[in-house]
Chain A
Amino acid sequence: DAGITQSPRYKITETGRQVTLMCHQTWSHSYMFWYRQDLGHGLRLIYYSAAADITDKGEVPDGYVVSRSKTENFPLTLESATRSQTSVYFCASSGTMNQPQHFGDGTRLSIL
C-alpha cells in the first residue's frame, strides 16, 4: 500500500546499539500499530497508538519505545538492541481500532 511506508527496509546492527524504525502514513488514520513477526508466532503487537500523543503497550513491549508527536508518524525505537529482537517488523494503520489494518512493507532487522 503506497499510503504507509516503512524505513529502512533492511537493517543490520550490533547488540547494545540504539535503532529506530520509521513508519509514515498518508491516510490520516487515527490508529497505528507496530508488530513483530517471527516464525511460529505470527504477528505480535508491540505498541499501538490511538492518536497523536496517545500510545499503549501491546503483547510484547519490553525493550521498545514509541512516540507519536504527529498523526502520520509512529517511530519504534530499540533503545539497546538484543539478539532476541532480530525479527521482521511491520507497521500498520487503521481508521478505528476494529477497521481493517493496512500494513507497510516491513523492516527486516538483524542484530548481531
Chain B
Amino acid sequence: GQQVMQIPQYQHVQEGEDFTTYCNSSTTLSNIQWYKQRPGGHPVFLIQLVKSGEVKKQKRLTFQFGEAKKNSSLHITATQTTDVGTYFCAGPGRPGGYNKLIFGAGTRLAVHP
C-alpha cells in the first residue's frame, strides 16, 4: 500500500540553528498537510499544500511541495525552544486525493537552549 516516509526520525539542534524535515510519498499526492504535536499534546494542523512546487511561509517556518507532488519539506529558520515537538506530514491515501490521510511517522525535534 501507499507509504508516507519522513526523515529524520529525530533531530536535536542548538537554539538558533536551522532544522529541516523531509516527507516522501510512494505515490503522487493531490495535497499534503503538516501537523505539529507538542510533547504530551495532540497534533495541531499547520498548513496544507496543494500546487506543484508550492512554497508557503509561516514566520520562521517554510513549507515546500515538490514539483512531482511526491515529496515535501518543512524548514525552520533559527529554531527556538517553542519549536520543540514532533512534526508530521500527511497525504491522501491514493492518487486523486479523495481518501483518508496517511501520516508519516514524524520527526521529533529537540532544541537545546
A residues with a Cβ closer than 8 A to B are 33, 35, 40-45, 48, 58, 90, 92, 97-98, 100-106
B31 interfacial contact with A, CB 8 Å: yes
| Per-position binary interface string of chain B over residues 26-68, scored 1 when its CB falls under 8 Å from any chain A CB and 0 otherwise | 0000110100000001111100100000000000000000000
| Distance in angstroms between the alpha carbons of A98 and B90 in the assembled complex | 10
Q: What is the interface of chain B mostly: helix, strand, loop, or mixed?
A: loop
B42 near A97 (CB under 8 angstroms)? Answer: no
Residues of B within 8 A of A35 (CB): 103
**Interface size classification for chain B:** 20 to 34
Q: Which B residues from 92 to 113 make CB contacts under 8 A with A? A: 92, 97-101, 103-106
Pick from B43, B98, B106: contact of A90, CB below 8 A: B43
| Distance in angstroms between the alpha carbons of A45 and B41 in the assembled complex | 18
Residue of B nearest to A33 (CB): B100
Residue of B nearest to A104 (CB): B42
Most chain A Cβ neighbours within 10 Å, of B31, B45, B106: B45
What number of A-B contacts does a CB cutoff of 8 Å give?
45
Q: Can you identify 12 A-B contacts, CB atoms within 8 angstroms? A: A35-B103, A43-B88, A45-B101, A90-B43, A97-B92, A98-B30, A98-B31, A100-B48, A101-B45, A101-B101, A102-B45, A103-B44
B100 near A58 (CB under 8 angstroms)? Answer: yes
Residues of B within 8 A of A98 (CB): 30-31, 92, 97-98, 101
